[in-house]
Chain A
């Protein structure tokens, strides 16, 4: 009797746990079933929304199945949410290296500004906007304090401008996309057009324009048309991406 009860409880517990795709994904990953894990983590994102940890685990699953383009995409998206996450950066760098993709070069200014995320910079800028606005209002209502409130308003406005500038600098370009399926970029948006350059899996390119099933991309100083299905934008048009 006791044994039956225990087995029943275990089954209920397992079913409950399996209902959580994130738990199921980790269970599959722990057993080396990375394809199932990837599907579960995709479900997690679709049901719960974006999260650094789910994207990180999804990247691990894709990297373990050899889908390095999708892995790099997941890590890139995780870094959008948590730019200081060293584990994500470590696995992204490792996956890029394994894929033979050069690590992106960033300026010193960009590296310094990236100590805060784009959203953090935006919040700072918004707080500065509020400060400047309050100071401007106070200046109008209490003219006797106009010098002090004026200084605060100028300070707030300057911080706001710097904050928004930093946020724009740190934020990934909306046109950034990762090659998730290796293909050949061509000089025209037709299948038989002359080759422009090979687009390796995991490479990050910039989308210049889109025309039906093809997108015109820039990879450094190279340009070409790639099939739309070969790319996935880092910042998807819809959120969450896999709903």
Chain B
């Protein structure tokens, strides 16, 4: 597992929110040693007109570079500038860096003076944040050899912390811990492994696979923070030191050494523009390099790149681990430590003799659920029990969740069967006492099995393997076929039969509807033709045209009779009328004879209005009772 964490100084400075106070502040990075450079940062909020002059009695000070960042929050912008100096003390002893005044757009800002001690020999730089970030102050450098490089408790470039919520634990207890590694902006870090503890008296579990990365500002310095979460469990009683280590490969630019400072003159041997133009220099007296003994490295705020493999070791803290007391330890205590509650889901359905029922015991709470075991009922009067199965569902926060124990019980006799209470004991570190949780006993009303016979208690021997449910005494309902209905041809034949019957029913209905519709349509057609003929009668009567009148009257009567007799209308004669209707058709027959007579010029004695009434009455009569 290797992760690369690159904290880019410029990006970090731009991206990070500024939590530092407004104004100006000076900070000395690293300890001071005679003749050795140390970094002095002067950070100023607001616009500055130029780098402040820094004079430290007893030390050489040189400006190495500056960084500016602008932050825009809700439309309001703020600017911050950091000036980086190197300070080289002349000799060991006390060193006072006086207040530094910086001219800004809002006026002069002044830093607080710094008092420091200069050692006589060079030593590795302690963390500038010692005592402020870790749990214990004043980290000391350790030069213990390790496979991944030297062990350091902190450096200006990286350090690690371990947050333990409590320093007094009980064996079996588990507590969530947070491990944070900090890498200063501009430092490239490659993790050579996961964080681990310095002692085997504790175990670290559930360590997050990848650290959460975020950028933070510590005392005005941008840092990349890598955070792991894990569970810390003591393995045995102890009182010992606990720290965390992280193997990591660091790459960073070291502070520039004075001896290595190079100027333009160093590079070119002389002023590159001094001689080229002679007295006719285009810059006149303002040779851009001639007047400057400028430090090239400081122009880019860089020193030489350094890379090393180290093991970061966090501050050591003392954690006391005790055993749960023997006094008052319940017999069923299985090592669970935390705070839990116990409940039971009663079985659903009607309990029957010989039929299995399921009980679900739920243990909910916070603690080491892996030690929550053995919640099950034993055989009791009227019921046989089987081993329970456990299933754990984790909660949203570490160490929380619900462990469910599902147990099968089989009533062995009808009547009221008392299911005893289940118990679960654990050690509560908050109360520093054992707690035993109980479920409420259940009362089941068991009915006889469908077969009528009570289960023979001897049937428990019908299965040899534990955990299996015993034989049934009722043979059950027999089935002639095992093949599912959907796979049987008879099923699909039945479906086909239903569909065929449906189609037949639809066809019959359609056929009957067709006859009825045809009849209605024919009736309507006859009505229309009769209506046309009676209109022609009316016109003929109005025109006193007896020939046309009787012709139309005959047509009307023929049409009406034809619809009843199911024959052609023009084929019906007076003879047919006489033959079929007898005396009842006398009037109709007279109309037919008049119609024939009119064609040959025979006169009629009655007026046409008389015959109009006669014909209409006959038509109405035929429509009602043909």
Contacts and interface: CB of A to CB of B under 8 A. Distances in A.
Contacts of B502: 133-134, 136-137
30 contacts: A26-B462, A29-B461, A29-B471, A30-B461, A30-B462, A51-B475, A51-B477, A51-B479, A53-B474, A57-B462, A60-B468, A63-B463, A81-B479, A86-B408, A95-B465, A98-B465, A119-B485, A126-B495, A130-B498, A133-B502, A137-B505, A140-B506, A143-B513, A164-B486, A167-B485, A174-B487, A235-B482, A235-B483, A239-B480, A239-B483
A46 B355 CA distance: 25
A236 interface: yes
B474 to A, nearest CB: 6
A26 B468 contact: no
A4 interface: no
Q: Which 3 A-B pairs have the closest CB atoms?
A: A53-B476, A29-B462, A140-B509
Contacts of B483: 235, 239
Given A121-B486, A126-B495, A239-B483, 14 more contacts: A49-B479, A51-B475, A60-B471, A80-B482, A86-B356, A91-B468, A95-B468, A98-B465, A119-B485, A122-B486, A123-B485, A134-B502, A136-B502, A141-B509
A218 interface: no
A54 interface: yes
A26 B491 CA distance: 36
Interface string A127-168: 001100110110011010000000000000000000010011
A87 B358 CA distance: 10
Contacts of B487: 171, 174, 235
A140 B471 CA distance: 56
Interface residues of B, number: 45
Interface of B: 355-356, 358, 408, 456, 458-459, 461-465, 467-487, 491, 494-495, 498-499, 501-502, 505-506, 509-510, 513
A122 B459 contact: no
Contacts of B499: 129, 133
A62 B462 CA distance: 11
B468 A90 contact: yes
A68 B522 CA distance: 80
B481 A50 contact: yes
Contacts of A100: none
Interface of A: 22, 26, 29-32, 34, 37, 44, 48-54, 56-57, 60-61, 63-64, 77, 80-81, 86-87, 90-91, 94-95, 98, 117-119, 121-123, 125-126, 129-130, 133-134, 136-137, 140-141, 143, 164, 167-168, 171-172, 174, 235-236, 239-241
A27 B181 CA distance: 71
A133 B498 contact: yes
A118 B486 contact: yes
B453 to A, nearest CB: 10
- Scoring B467, B471, B472, B494 by chain A CB atoms within 10 A of each residue's CB, the highest score goes to B471
Contacts of A137: 502, 505-506, 509
A171 B463 contact: no
